[in-house]
Amino acid sequence: MRSYWARRVGSSVLILALVLVLNFVLFRMMPGDPVASIVDPKFSPEAKARLMEVYGLDKPMLTQFALYVKSSLSFDFGISFLTGRPVADELRSRVPNTVALLGSSLLLSALLGTWLGIQAARKRGGALERLVLWGGALSYSFPSFFFQLMLLMVFAAAIPIFPLRGSLSVPPPLGGAALFLDYVWHLALPVLSQVLLGFGGWALYVRNLMVKILGEDFILMARGRGLPERRVLRGHAFRMLLPPLLTILLLSLPGVVSGAVLTETVFSLHGVGRFLMEAVTGHDYPAAGASFFLLALLTVASTLASDLLYGVTDPRVRLERGRGR
Amino acid sequence: MRRRTLTRRWSFWCLVLLAALALFGGRLFSAPPDAEVAAPFSKPFWLDRSLPPTVTADLTPDAPSAEIPWSWGAPSRFFVAADMVADAPGRTILWTKPGGRTVEIAPLKKGVERDGRDMAFKRALGLPPFADGAASLLDERGTYRLSVDGQGPWEGTVRLRLDGGRWGLFGTDQRGRDIAALFVAGIRVSLLVGIMATLIATALGTTVGLAAGYLGGWFDSAAMRLVDLLLSIPMLPILMALAAIWGKGLWQLVLILSIFSWMGTARTVRAMTLSLRDTAYIEDLRGIGAPTAYILRRHLLPETLPLLLATMTLGVPGAILSEAGLSFLGLSDPRVISWGRMLHEAQTFGTFTAGAWWMLLPPGLGIAVLCLAFLDMGKYLEERTDPRLRGGALS
Amino acid sequence: MTVKKLLSASILLTLLAALPASAAFDPGAYGVPKVKDLYLVILRDPDAQLLALEGGKIDMLSDLARPVDIAALSKNPAVDMSLASGFHAFFLGFNARTFPWSEAELRRAACQAIPRERIVRDLFSGYAEPLATYLPPVSPYFEPGVTTYAYDPAAAAKRLADAGWTKGGDGVLVSPDGRAVPPQKILSPTASVAPTTTEIAVRAAEALTSIGIPTTAEPMDFSTMLARLDKRNFGMYVMAWSMGKDPDSLYSFYSSKMDVPGGYNLSGVQDTALDDVLDRLKFAPDGTAAAAAASEAQKMLSDLVPAVPLYSRYSISAIRKGWKNVFTSERTTADNLWTLLAMEPESGPMRPLYLAQTDEPRALSPFTSTTAYDWQILGMIYDGLMASDPETLEDMPWLATSWSVSDEEGPEGMRTALAFTLREGVVWQDGRPFTSADAAATIEFLRKNEVPRYYDSVMHVEAIETPDDHTLKVTMKNRSFWHLHGIGGLPIFPKHVLETVKEWRTWLPAGEKSPDDQTLTGLVGTGPFVFREYRPGEYVRMTANETFWLGLGR
């Protein structure tokens, strides 16, 4: 058992190390000049050379790599080429918005999806199951940015009941409660769009899982013993459902960050997703390196956590894992 | 049993129709999709019937004036050009309004062109810079007259073109291209990207998964670490980075998409192979000395095939949506017409705020319908491998 | 010709009433900003910007580029539009180091084959000026008497035929010495900020193909493209430049001395006569010599055709009605400093002004910020010694009330000496007085640290002297008329703040507190607005500087 976890942690560290190397190589492989985007056309060649020097781009590659590894491991990340501010500061100002957006939409769509999925599995062929199937299909087939732009056009431009942009009014209202409400009002449409696009996937997943679980022998036995349906669901089926559900929740964390790129672009939100995109397209090595490293960290951590959780909630898994690896 | 027949699924016919359009749709249009066919931002022909039709008139020395009866609102373009061999000094092109007021359009010179949008022309007409030249030249109903005035010989043709504001099924875009033709051309790109990327990814994933599961050992752990590594990199930003390294061509995109979507298949195939490897009949085969490649090809691969077909079909929408997302962010080849690109251009040229829904809905809904069709198809295939899931048809 | 700036009659009338009857612009009519609270709302998406203006969430929107938006806003009765010519210039460039673009006749023919007017019409709905010269017509140094190449593909073909070019069986041009033109590529950026650029490249490629030069457009990542241009690994490219008020940009673009790695002479045209003229332009002793050299350089360039000028974009801005004292001229749209100083609501009490900040502010440091978005803010905080007249673009006194340029004998030949007389009574936003020591400390700081943004302006400074509190003397190492603008255009920082800057690279003044006043940050200038707060992703708040020096005598 101990050795299994040691191996898991060991391989996670290995992956992080690989990501670090990959980040460095990948961005320096990108053709193009990182200072190109900050140079004024009237800069003389000497002024340009000075700029390279200021950003440490004239140093040998190995030195640059050592500096990069050091700054990543110390979570310092250096100064962004594009913004001229410390990457850590930039991330700090953006993380709260992204966490609020993704956290609330993930949670809401998971809750709604789970409830709908269970109901759909219970009443096969009903209207609810139809809703789940369609919702699921739509969430896998609708281009999110298109859907969000349409929502924005209808509910912020044509019928202005939601704000157009950002996460606060300008100037923001005074007072804690008013400020909070203002924030909620601003995030409502982005979150709503994410939930509408996301719940279907959850519901479909839960429904399929639940259909399988409800077909299992022990459920049939429980029913056969004459237990009330509610207890069968809550006591038996739900306990079977929980571990895979939590695992999926954890494992979907890194993926939703990609979704944040588009959502934050459409709703003009100050978040990590847009920062990541600008860093990549703008050759901002420190910013892109930091974001990718943190994302890899998030992925590895959530994978580990999901393994751990699986082990805690489902004792059978422990045995399987111990044998399988 | 009804749902078992392929031909009774809507998605089957939908895909057949789209594939046919992708192959032969170009023949429905007389011009290639990137040709300018009408004034930019024309509305669909069925939308606003009060818009004027396109009117043209040619003046020649034999017929030096033309009457244009006008009973509509302003045209979207007013364009006059002189197609001549030499200048005709002393002659001018005149525009007479129904009330008799005349406006000098231009001196009659070789190659002279006047367009209602030109700032210099607007200034010459005494209009403020933000006025609509066409609207001010045709600001009432009645009979207008275009004529060549003055003395002296001239040779050639003076052409007038008043563009109406309507064209085709879905109107035109910012370059005056037919949106319906672009829409049909876009099917091909979406299908190509979706199917090719998934095919390559599935082939890659199956190979790695089979090999990892069957061979085990160092190859297995190396492959699985690679899978973990690739899964820990967010897809969209890495696509953006790679698009910058490799260029933005269609094939590069297909390759990049497939490199980042084979991991799921590899895991599934590996798990299946692991469970099959230890079954009695495979062990028997090994016992009698069957070569590894033979066992993999003849026994393991066919076992996993039905499942693969389903995951593959279910993977196509992912690739299509990724292409659309990248194009929407402006990271695709602008010369390749795709639905994502159409949405990107529509957005950058301001159609969202202009409320030009006829430009947005075809590509947006096109993507959705195509993806839905693949999903339904995938579900159909999945149900055939796992009948417990049945009843999930999208009907 | 007077171009009426599309202002409603009412605003024109108020303008006339507000300004003295003489035609010349009088900065004395302005004072402390009337607007007290200024919010720069961060609105990056063009759709959101438009909707915010239409919905009254912002009062002004600058740099409108999309024809659809311009059309929509010019029909909107709640909005006034203004338009001005600018220094933007868009070129199709050649690499004249290699065949075929080493052939001047082919470059001329290419210039003649490109339908500028149609491009402007189709892509910008006419809201750009077709450009046929190497400086935009708005430049004070613009030379109208040059050869231009109006669109005429037949004449282009004839020009080539006359020069001995023939066409091969495949329709491809063959040079007089028998070399066929190889397939050409036009590099163009795909950046979503410039959706029209690739379209232009495609159209130019079609036009060139039609005269026998097989050409395709090659869109690519912008910084990739810049790297290829830097390595001179290209045949053709399309690119927009901001040419700047001074014509010495011609030296950067076309002198063979700038054909070095990192230099902006992309075309690589080698011509000793041109080099001489550009040297005379770059190192002109005075304005007259500079003007003469600029004229001559433009004539030579139009003969050599190192690049094809295509168009110059108008700057177009929109302002909501309900504000009076809006200033516009042929050369400035409504979104200028003078409007910000003078505007007030037509009726009712003063209210906050909301402007669009079209990109996230970055470091907000006058040393490391290089984007126009940051300088929209920084420019309201800091003043230079000189400014330019919004009507004529001529030099205008600012922190310096007068100046003199003289030549003096140095150890390495003639050199320029600048003397500025500084305005008295000016105070920094934290209340301390502004003196020549501040100006000297600024130049010294920028020179000592080799701050890239100011490198070209201060690197030739030999000595700085401050004989008294209101005199600044700067001696340069060499002689050039443009040194005046280099030094006169520097933003001036307070000495007492510069002394607290330990490391200019990481200095983030917007996040610091001023020791004198807790409501101030490290961004302390003499300008009309005081920086108060930046909320990332949301807005920047500024307030009127009640001690702004322009209000001194009032």
From the CA of C146, how many Å to the nearest CA of chain A? 25
Q: Give the DSSP H or E segment for C403.
A: strand C400-410
**How do beta strands C184-189 and C215-220 pair?**
parallel
Q: B269 φ, ψ to 5°?
A: -65, -40
CA atoms within 13 A of residue A64's CA, in its CB half-sphere? 18
The alpha-carbon gap from A271 to the nearest alpha carbon of chain C, in Å, equals 8
Residue C28 DSSP symbol: G
Is the pLDDT at A276 greater than 90? The verdict is no
ipTM surpassing 0.85: no
| Type and span of the H or E element at C334 | none
Report the length, in residues, of chain A: 325
Q: Which chains touch A (3 or more CB pairs under 8 A)?
A: B, C
Average pLDDT over residues B289-300: 77
Confidence of residue A312 (pLDDT cuts 50, 70, 90): low
Q: Which residue type is seen at C80?
A: D
Domain limits of chain C? 9-85+314-358, 88-306, 386-498
- Give all chains having 3 or more CB-to-CB distances under 8 Å with chain B: A, C
CB-CB: which of A14, A140, A296 is closest to B317?
A140
Residue range B11-27: mean pLDDT, rounded:
88
Query: Could you tell me if A19 lies within 8 Å of chain B, comparing CB atoms?
Result: yes
Helix or strand or coil: residue C531?
A: strand
- C536: preceding bond cis by omega (within 30 degrees): no
Residue of C nearest to B118 (CA): C126
Average pLDDT, chain B: 84
Instruction: Please give the Cα distance from C86 to C244 (Å, whole number).
Output: 9
Strand partners, B301: none
d(CA C385, CA C401): 8
Q: How far is B204 from chain C (nearest CA, A)?
A: 29
Q: What is the mean pLDDT of chain C?
A: 88
Is B85 or B147 the better-scoring residue by pLDDT?
Answer: B147
Share above pLDDT 90 across residues of chain A, in percent, rounded to a whole number? 3
C residues 414..453 contacting A (CB < 8 A):
450, 452-453
> Which value, to the nearest 10 degrees, does the dihedral of the CA atoms of residues A281, A286, A287, A288 take?
50
> Collapsing DSSP states into helix, strand and coil, what is residue C86?
coil
pLDDT tens digit string along A180-226? 898 899 999 999 998 988 888 888 888 888 888 887 777 788 878 87
- Residue, of C156 and B253, whose pLDDT is higher: C156
CB pairs under 8 A between B and C: 95
Q: Which of B128, B247, B334 sits opposite C4 (nearest CB)?
A: B128
Plot region of B350 (φ>0 → left; ψ -120 to 50 → alpha; else → beta):
left
Helices and strands (H and E) in chain C: how many? 17, 23
Measured N-to-C along each axis, helices A2-29 and A285-313 cross at an angle, to the nearest 10 degrees, of 160
B161 at C interface, C-beta within 8 A = no
What is the pLDDT averaged over residues A148-176?
A: 81
Q: Quick check: C78 pLDDT over 70?
A: yes
Q: What is the greatest pairwise CA distance in chain A?
A: 86
**pLDDT band per the 50, 70, 90 thresholds, residue C241:** confident
State the virtual CA torsion across C81, C85, C88, C90 in degrees, nearest 10. 100
Q: For the segment A248-270, what is each residue's pLDDT rounded down to a tens digit?
A: 788 777 777 777 888 888 888 88
Closest CA–CA distance from residue C458 to any residue of chain A (Å): 11
Closest by alpha carbon to C320, among C274, C355, C369? C355
Domains of chain B: 55-163 (2.60.120), 179-393 (1.10.3720.10)
Mean pLDDT of C199-217: 92
Q: What is the pLDDT of residue B245?
A: 67
Q: How confident is the model at residue C194 (pLDDT cuts 50, 70, 90)?
A: low
Q: Are the beta carbons of A246 and A313 closer than 8 angstroms? A: yes
CB-CB contact of B73 with B137 (8 Å)? no
B-proximal residues of C, 242-271, CB under 8 Å = none
What pLDDT shows up at residue B359? 86
Note the pLDDT of residue A36. Answer: 58
Fold agreement (C9-85+314-358, C88-306): no
**Beta carbon pairs, A and B, within 8 Å:** 139
Helix%, strand%, coil% for chain A, nearest 5:
80, 0, 20
Q: Which residues of B touch C205 (CB under 8 A)?
A: none
State the pLDDT confidence band at A42, using cuts at 50, 70 and 90.
Answer: low
CATH T-level topology, domain C386-498: Dipeptide-binding Protein; domain 1 (3.90.76)
Q: Is the Cβ–Cβ distance between B171 and B40 less than 8 Å?
A: no
What is the per-residue pLDDT for C516? 80
Cβ pair A146:B236 closer than 8 A? no
- The set of long-range contacts for B301-307, using a CB threshold of 8 Å and a minimum separation of 24, is B301/B206, B301/B210, B303/B272, B303/B276, B304/B206, B304/B210, B304/B269, B304/B272, B304/B273, B306/B381, B306/B384, B306/B385, B307/B268, B307/B272, B307/B385
Q: Where does the pLDDT of residue A318 fall: very low under 50, low under 70, confident under 90, or very high at 90 and above?
A: very low
Q: How many angstroms separate the CA of residue B220 from the nearest CA in chain C?
A: 38
Neighbours of chain C (3+ CB pairs under 8 A): A, B
**The pLDDT value given to residue A157:** 77
Structure tokens at B67: 């009457």
H or E stretch at C79:
strand C79-84
Alpha carbon distance A66, C69 (integer Å): 49
CB contact under 8 A, B349 and C192: no
Q: What is the average per-residue pLDDT within B289-293?
A: 78
Q: Which two tokens stand for residue B86?
A: 């030499």
Nearest-Cα distance to chain C for A22, in Å, is 20
DSSP calls for A205-217: HHHHHHHHHHTSH
Mean pLDDT calculated for residue range B322-345: 82
- pLDDT tens-digit profile of B22-57? 888 888 888 888 788 887 788 888 887 778 888 999
| pLDDT for A40 beyond 60 | no
Adjacent-strand bridge partners of C543: C37, C530
Q: A45 at the B interface (CB within 8 A)?
A: no
Question: What is the rounded average pLDDT of the residues B365-392?
Answer: 77
Q: Do C539 and A83 touch (CB under 8 A)?
A: no
Q: Which residues pair with C472 in a beta bridge?
A: C420
d(CA C103, CA C105) in angstroms, rounded, equals: 6
pLDDT of residue C346: 92
Instruction: State what percent of residues in chain C have pLDDT above 90.
Output: 59
The number of beta carbons lying within 10 Å of the beta carbon of residue A16 is 19
From CA A156, how far away is CA A154, in angstroms rounded?
6
CATH for C88-306 is 3.10.105.10
Secondary structure letter of residue C162 according to DSSP = H
Kindly state the average pLDDT of the residues A114-123.
85
Q: Report the pLDDT averaged over residues C72-78.
A: 91
Tell me the C-alpha to C-alpha distance, in Å, between residue A77 and each of A27, A54, A67, A91.
Answer: 15, 16, 9, 10
What is d(CA B297, CA B274) in angstroms, rounded to the nearest whole number? 15
Of B125-139, B169-183, B350-364, C40-54, give the lowest mean pLDDT range.
Answer: B350-364
Of residues C20 and C539, the one with the higher pLDDT is C539
- For the record, the structure tokens of A307 come out as 């393994």
pLDDT at position C18 over 60: no
In this structure, the number of other CB atoms found within 10 A of the CB of residue C183 comes to: 11
| C-alpha–C-alpha distance, residues A115 and A94, integer Å | 32
H-only helix segments in C316-435: 337-342, 372-381
- The superfamily in CATH containing domain A94-323 is MetI-like (1.10.3720.10)
Alpha carbon C232 to its chain centroid, in Å, reads 25
Q: Region C234-244: what's the mean pLDDT?
A: 89
Give the least confident one: A11-25, A183-197, C151-165, C306-320.
A11-25
**CA-to-CA distance for B383 and B9, rounded, in angstroms?**
13
| A215: exposed, middle or buried (Cβ count in 10 Å: 0-12, 13-18, 19+) | exposed
Query: Which residues of chain A neighbour B374 with C-beta distances below 8 Å?
Result: 141
- Percent above pLDDT 90 for chain B: 24
C-alpha dist (Å) from residue C186 to A19, A176, B291, C75, C197: 36, 56, 55, 37, 11
Residues above pLDDT 70, as percent of chain A: 89
Backbone angles phi, psi at B137, to 5 degrees: -80, -30
| CA dihedral over C337, C342, C347, C350, signed as positive or negative | positive
pLDDT at A33: 61
Q: Which of C39, C370, C453 sits opposite A171 (nearest CB)?
A: C39
Could you read off the pLDDT of C366-390 as tens digits, one per residue?
998 877 888 999 999 999 999 999 8
- Examine the pLDDT at C466 and tell me if it is beyond 60: yes
Q: Is the dihedral of CA B158, B164, B168, B172 positive or negative?
A: positive
Cis previous bond, C100, omega within 30: yes
Contact C514/C429 with Cβ under 8 angstroms?
no
Average pLDDT over residues C219-234: 81
C-alpha pair distances (Å), A261 with each of A172, A255, A257, A270, B329: 25, 11, 7, 11, 10
Query: Angle at CA B255, nearest 5°, toward B253 and B257?
Result: 65
CATH assignment of C9-85+314-358?
A: 3.40.190
In angstroms, the Cα distances linking C10 to A293, B129, C13, C327, C335 are: 59, 18, 5, 13, 18
**Cβ atoms of residues A275 and A287 within 8 Å:** yes
Torsion-angle region of C509 (φ positive above 0: left; ψ -120 to 50: alpha; else: beta): alpha
Chain center to CA of C86: 8
Candidates C264, C265, C358, C451: best to mutate against A (most CBs of A within 10 A) is C264
**CA dist., res. A113 & res. A204, Å (int):** 8
Task: Give chain C positions within 8 Å (CB) of B350.
Answer: 46-47, 50, 66, 68-69, 72
Contact residues on chain B for A303, CB-CB shorter than 8 A: 228, 232
Return the higher-pLDDT residue of B175 and C342.
C342
